[in-house]
Structure 1
Amino acid sequence: MIKLASTRVLLALFSALTSLSVFAQDELKLQEQVNKIFGTFNEHYEKFLFFPVPVFYWGEVITMPLILLVMVFGGLFFTIRLGFINVRLFKHSIDVIRGKYDNPEDEGDITHFQALTSALSATVGLGNIAGVALAIGRGGPGVIFWIWIIAFFGMSLKFASSTFAQLYKQKTMKGDILGGPMVYLSEMFKNHNWPMLGKIMGCFYAVMTIGASLGGGNLFQANQTYKIIANQHPDANPWIVGIVLAFLAGAVLIGGIKKIGSVTSKLVPFMCVFYVLSCLAIIFSNASMIPDMFVQIFKEAFNPDAAFGGFFAVMLTGVQRASFSNEAGLGSSAIAHAAAKTKEPVREGVVAMIGPVIDTHVVCTITALTLLITGAYKDPEVAKQGVEMTALAFSHLGSWMPYFLLVAICVFAYSTVISWSYYGERATVYLFEKRLGYNAVRFYRFAYVFIIILGPVLSIGNVLGFADLMLLSIAFPNIIGMVCFSGILKAKAQDYLDRFKSGQMKEYF
C-alpha cells in the first residue's frame, strides 16, 4: 500500500511537471527569478562560511577561511590521533570489501560492498568529471595537489564518521536502519549529559543535509546532465531533460536503500571502469607528456600564478572540490554505511575509508591528467563551464567520444541523484518521523523529485555556489562533534586492531 501511494504521488508530480513545461510562457523570466533567489542566499550565507580567521604563515599573520581551517584540522587530527589507520588497514579494507568477513546473519539492510557502492554513487560522478574541470578552470593545475592531500587525510575522516554511524545506529518505526551524523551527534552528547547541545547539532546537520541533497545531489547533477546533452544536441529542452531524470529517479526512490544499493552495485563499477579506460586511452596516447603534467601540478600548488588568486585561493578551491567529490569530513556517506550488515562498527569504517582513494586519487587524477594533457583547461570558452571542458578533452580521442562521455555522465548523475535522495530522506526521518510518520518521507520524495526539474534551468554559478555552501556547512557539526568524542573512536579502533592482528577475525571464504 505504501509503494502504491508513493507511486500515485510521483505520477501526480510528473503530470504537474509536464504541465509546467508545456504552459510556461516566459521561461527566461522564471530562470532569472530562480537564479536571483539562489544568488541572494549564497551571497549572504558565504560571509559566515568563509569568515576570515587569522593564522600564522611563514612568520606573518594572514587570514584563512573558517571552513578551510576546520576541514584541514579535522583531517590532520584524525589521521594523527588514529596513528595513520588509513595506511595501516588499507589492505584489510580491500579484503572486507571483497566480502571476506561478511556474515550473512549480521543485522543491517545492505552488504559492505553495497554500502560502499551506494556511498560512491553519491561521490563518483559529476564531482569527478565536471567538478575537477571547474577546479582547474578556477585555480589552475595546482588545485589537483590539494585535492590529493585533502583526500588522503579525508580517509581518516571517512573512517571516523562511518564507525560512529555504526556505533550509534537506530531503527525507525518501520524497522529499517537510521544512522549518520545527525544520530550519533545527538546520542554522543546526550550520553555525556549535553542532550540539548546534541539535539541542536543533530538537527542542524539534518537540515543542512536536506539542503545539500537538493543542491549537490540534485540541482548540480541535473544541471550538468543537461549541459552535456545540450553540448551534443543544442535543441535539447531543459524541462524535458529534468522530467525524464525526475521520473527515472522516482522509480528507484520508492524502493529505499535496498533498491538503491542493488542498482548502484551494478551501475557504479561498470561506469567507473568505462570512464577510467576512456581517460587512460587519451593519457597513454600522450604518455610522454605525463611527467611534465605532474611537475606542473606540484609547481603551481605552491607557486600559483597570480591570475589564480594566490596560495590560499588555490588551496581553498582544492578543498571545496575535494569535499564535493569525496565528501570526506561531511559525514554524508556515513548515512549509507550505517545501513551495512555488520557487528563490527570499526569494520565499516575500514570499508568507508577506501572511498576517497577510488573517488579522488584514481578517478579525479585521471580526469585531471586528461584535461591537462589535452590542454582543454586553457580554452577560454570552456574554462569556467565544467563538463563542457571534459567533453572538449574527450573529443581529442575522436569526434564520437563525447557521445560516450554523455552516456557516462548521465549514468553517474542518475546514480548520484538516487543516492543523495536517501541521505536527505534519512535526515527527514530524523527530524519529522515522530510527528509526521511516513508522511514526512512522502513529502520529501515529492519535493526532491520536483526540484530535479530546476537543475537544467539554473546558471552553473548559482547551482555550484548553493551546493558548496550546503555541503561544506555540514562539516562544522560533524567534525567538531567527532573531535569531542575521538577518545571513544580511538579505543574502539585499537580493540579492533588488536583482535585483527591476533587472528580473532572470522573469515567466511
Structure 2
Amino acid sequence: MLKKLALFTMIFSPLLGTSQEKGLDEVINEEFMPIATWWENLVLTSVPIAGYNIPFVLILLVFGATLFTVYFGFPAISKFKLAINTVRGKYDEIDHHSVEKSELNIIDGDLVDTIKDESKEGEVSHFQALATAVSGTVGLGNIAGVAVAIAVGGPGATFWMIVCGLIGMSTKMVECTLGVKYRDVGEDGTVYGGPMYYLKRGLESQNMAVFGKVLAGIFAILCVGASFGGGNAFQSNQAAVQIVSMLGLAGGASGFIIGVIMAILVGIVIIGGIKRIAKITEKIVPFMAIIYVIAALIIIFSNFQHIGSAFELIFKGAFTPMAGLGGVLGVIIVGFQRAAFSNEAGAGSAAIAHSAVKTKYPASEGVVALLEPFIDTVVICTMTALVIIFFNMDVGAFDYGNSQNSAVLINATGEYIGGVDLTSMAFDSVLPGFSYILTIAIILFAFSTMISWSYYGLQSWKYLFGRGKTADILYKLLFLVFVVIGASATLDAVIKFSDAMILALVFPNMIGLVLLFPKVKEEINRYVKDIKTIKVK
C-alpha cells in the first residue's frame, strides 16, 4: 500500500515542491495548463453530428438518462410522491423493523452466518444522505453556471437544463439504488459504497469480474482527482474571489490567507467523517437554500407581471434561438452540458453519500436520490435563470451568444461581466446590497461542496489504497493543501482540469449503469410490494 501511496503522491508533488520558488498562480498555470488542456480535449472528444461537434460524453449522458427514464416509466413523475414520503420517514416502519436474515444478501453470495438486518447497516438517515449529496451538487454551478448557460445559449438554454434535470432524476435513482445494493460494510460498521463497489461487485455477479475491477479502479482514480479539482480547488477559489471582492482586499497573499483559514475549517469537519459531515450539511444545506430561494422568490414575485414573458423567451429560445447561437442543437448542447455540470447525474459521485444511508431496501434510497436533480436543476437553476432574464428583459443590454468569452455577457456600456458578477448584479437590481448576502451564500455553497466531495474522494482513496489510518490522513492532508492552492491560484488551468475530471467519471459509471439497471427494477418492485403490504395492515 505504501508504494501505491508514494506513486500517487508523486503525481501531485510538483505543486508542493515548486511553490517555494514561484507564486502558486504561476505554478498552477505553468505546470498544469498543458496537462489540463490535453485532458479537457481528451474527455470532451467530439463526434460530428448534423454539422455540430457534440462531446461524446454528453451523448453517453443523454442516452443513458433517456433509456432509464423510458424503462422505469418516467420516475420523475411516477415516483415523485414515493420519494417525498420516503424522505419524510413515512415508511420507516418497514425499513427498520427487525429482520434475522436477508434474501438479498443470499442472492449476492454472503455466507449465511454473516447475514443480518440490513437496516442496521448504514450511518445516516434518508434526509441526511440527501442533504450530503445535495450539498455536493448544489453550489456555484447554480449561481455562475446558469449565467454561463444564458450567456452562451440565451434564455432557451434554461429549457434544456430543466429537461436534462428531469431525465437526470432517473439516472440518480439507478446509480444510488445500486450504491446501496452493492455497498460494503466494514467490521466496525463503517459503510463503503459508490460506483467503485457496484462496478466491481455488480459486474462480478454477472460474470464480468475483470471488467468490473478495471472500471471500478478507473472510477476511483478519476474520483480522487475530481475531489481535488472541481470538488475542492474550484470551490475554494470562487469563495476566495468573492471574499476578496466584498472586503476590497488587495495583495497576492490575500487568497493564500483565506485558503489557510478555509482549510482549517474544512479540516475540522472532515476529520469527523461522514457522520460529522451529515450533521453539518443537514443544517447548512437547508439554511443556504432557504436564503437563496427566498431572495429569488422576492425578485420573481416583484416581477410577477413579467413571468409570462420570461417563460415565453425560454420556450421560444429553446426551439427558435436568437441569431448567432448556432441553431437549436447548439442551445440543447449548452443547456445539457451546464445541467450535467450542476447536478452530476451520471457521474456517480452522489451514490457514494447515499450508500451510507440506514436502510435494508436499496430502492428506498434510490427514489430519495431522484429528488436531487429536481432540487438542484429544476428548481434552483430555474429560479436563477428567471432572475437573470428579468434583469435583462427590459433594457436588452446583453448580447447573447457572445463568442469572445463563453462565461460573460456584454452590458450596455460594452463592459464584460463574469457569471457570478452577473447573478450578483441581477439580485442587487431588486435587492440593493444583496450581493453581500450572496457572497455569504457562495461561501456556504463552496464549504458544503468541499466537505461532501472530501467524503467522495476519501472513499475512492480507501478503495485504491486500503482503509488504514495512514491512507486516511494522507488523503485529508492532500485535500486541505488543495483548498489553499485553489484559493491562491488563478483557475485557468484548474477549471479545465476539474470540469473535465468530473465529466470523465461518466465513462466508467454510465457503462456500469447500462449493464446493471435491470437489478434496480427488481429492487424497486420489492420495495413497492412491501410498502403495499404494510398499508394493508
1:429-448 equivalences in 2 (<5 Å): 429-433=462-466, 437-448=468-479
Is the alpha carbon distance of 1:505 and 1:54 closer, same or farther for their aligned partners in structure 2, counting shifts above 3 Å?
farther
Q: Supply the distance in 1 between the matched residues of 2:149 and 2:52 (Cα, whole angstroms).
A: 23
The answer as to whether partners of 1:228 and 1:388 remain within 8 angstroms in 2 is: no
- Counterpart selection for 1:37 from 28, 31, 50: 31
Alignment deviations for residues 181-225 of structure 1 (CA, whole Å, 9 cap, x no partner):
110001112122221111110011111111111111101111211
State the match for 1:289 in structure 2: 306
Counterparts of 1:43-442 in structure 2 under 5 Å?
Answer: 43-55=37-49, 63-102=53-92, 103=95, 106-107=119-120, 108-172=122-186, 174-235=188-249, 237-375=254-392, 379-380=409-410, 385-433=418-466, 437-442=468-473
Structure 2 CA distance for aligned equivalents of residues 42 and 306 of structure 1: 32
Aligned residue for 2:13?
A: none
Does the Cα contact within 8 Å between 2:194 and 2:355 map onto a contact in 1? yes
User: Residue 393 and residue 63 in structure 1: after superposition, are their counterparts in 2 closer, same or farther (change >3 A)?
Assistant: closer
Q: Is the 8 A contact 1:301 1:314 kept in 2?
A: yes
Cα deviations across residues 432-480 of structure 1 (Å, max 9, x unaligned)?
A: 116xx22111111000011011223333443332222111111111111
Cα 1:240/1:300, change in 2 over 3 Å = same
**Given the superposition, is the C-alpha separation of residues 427 and 377 from structure 1 closer, same or farther in structure 2, using an over 3 Å criterion?**
farther
Gaps of at least 5 residues in structure 1 are 1-16
Q: Which amino acid aligns with 2:465?
A: F
2:464, 2:535 → 1: CA distance? 37
Return the match for 1:465 from 480, 489, 496. Answer: 496
Would you say the 8 A contact 1:152–1:356 is kept in 2? yes
Deviates more, 1:288-297 or 1:414-423: 288-297
Query: Does the CA-based 8 Å contact 1:421-1:448 persist in structure 2?
Result: yes
Instruction: Assess if the C-alpha contact under 8 Å between 2:221 and 2:460 holds in 1.
Output: yes
Contact 2:161 / 2:339 at 8 angstroms: preserved in 1? Answer: yes
Residues 210 and 99 (structure 1), Cα distance of their counterparts in 2 relative to 1, 3 Å cut: same
Shift of 1:63: 4.5
Q: 1:182 to 1:89 in 2, by over 3 A?
A: same
RMSD: 2.4
CA contact (8 A) 2:96 2:360 kept: no
CA separation of 1:52/1:25 partners in 2, compared to 1, >3 Å: closer, same or farther?
closer
Q: Does the 8 Å contact 1:130/1:224 carry over to 2?
A: no
| CA deviation after TM superposition for structure 1 residue 394, in Å | 1.7
Write the distance in 2 (CA, Å) between the matches of 1:409 and 1:39: 26
Cα distance in 2 for partners of 1:259, 1:282 equals 35
SS of the aligned residue for 1:53 comes to strand
Q: 1:231 to 1:389 in 2, by over 3 A?
A: farther
Q: Is the partner of 1:454 in helix, strand or coil?
A: helix
The runs of 5 or more residues in structure 2 that have no matched partner are 1-15, 98-118, 400-408
CA distance in 1 between partners of 2:191 and 2:433 (Å): 44
For residues 280 and 502 of structure 2, the distance between their equivalents in structure 1, rounded to whole angstroms, comes to 24
Task: Provide the secondary structure at the position in 2 that maps to 1:397.
Answer: coil
Q: Distance in 2 between matches of 1:473 and 1:141?
A: 28
* Aligned 8 A contact 2:172 2:370 in 1: yes
Distance 1:391 1:201, change over 3 A: same
SS at match of 1:425: helix
Cα distance between partner residues in 2 of 1:142 and 1:303: 8
Q: Structure 2 vs 1, CA of residues 266 and 339 (structure 1 numbering), >3 Å: closer, same or farther?
A: same
Instruction: Indicate how the Cα distance of structure 1 residues 506 and 431 shifts in structure 2: closer, same or farther if over 3 A, else same.
Output: farther
Amino acid at match of 2:501: M
Q: Match for residue 7 of structure 1?
A: none
8 Å contact kept, 2:175–2:348: yes
